[in-house]
Structures are given as C-alpha cells and as structure tokens.
Amino acid sequence: MTEALARAVIFCFEETELQRLWADVHTQNIASYKTLEKAGFKREELIREGKMVNTYCDYYLYGMTKADYIEIFKSKSASREKSGRK
C-alpha cells in the first residue's frame, strides 16, 4: 500500500497544481497511519470527538505540503546516489 500511496503523492505534486495533501485516520487504525508516515506525511493534529463519515470518534489529521514532498524527494535521491542505485 505504501508504494501505491507514494505514486499517488508523486502524481498529485508533479502532475497537478496541488500544494497540500491531507488525510484523517481513526486513532485505532495503526496500519493506516503507519502507511501515511512511511510515505512522508506528518501528524499535525489530534481531533477529539470529531465526525468521520457518520460517527463521532478521535482521529489524527496528517498532512504533506509540496515543500515537504520536495525535501523527501531530495533526501531519497541523495541516498540512492550514495549507494550507487538509480
């Protein structure tokens, strides 16, 4: 799933004019928020008793700006160059 999310992020920032992506994740959905974190999203907020779909629950708000994306991309490119991979 991380690879699919990474490809979606690349598309959003490379092929569109989007400047920010965000996602909300139920606090008990560990797999989903770990996937967001691996893709470079940052946890920005805990929403207490907020409404998600048709229920009230605690959830995290994750976000990534285009500047975050560029920094992550540069970091990954630099590490690939050091290891000799493309």
What are the sequence ranges of the domains in the chain? Answer: 2-73
Look at residue 46 and give its three-state secondary structure.
strand
Superfamily in which the 2-73 domain is placed by CATH: Gcn5-related N-acetyltransferase (GNAT) (3.40.630.30)
What confidence tens digit (pLDDT) does each residue in 42-81 have? 999 999 999 988 999 999 999 999 999 999 877 776 666 6
pLDDT of residue 83: 65
pLDDT of residue 31: 96
DSSP one-letter code for 18 = -
* Nearest of 44, 54, 4 to residue 24 by alpha carbon: 44
Mean pLDDT value across residues 18-25 = 97
pLDDT of residue 19: 97
Instruction: Name residues whose C-beta falls within 8 Å of residue 62's C-beta, 6 or more positions apart in sequence.
Output: 22, 23, 24, 25, 33, 36, 37, 41, 42, 43, 44
**pLDDT of 29 strictly over 80:** yes
Output the pTM of the full model. Answer: 0.82
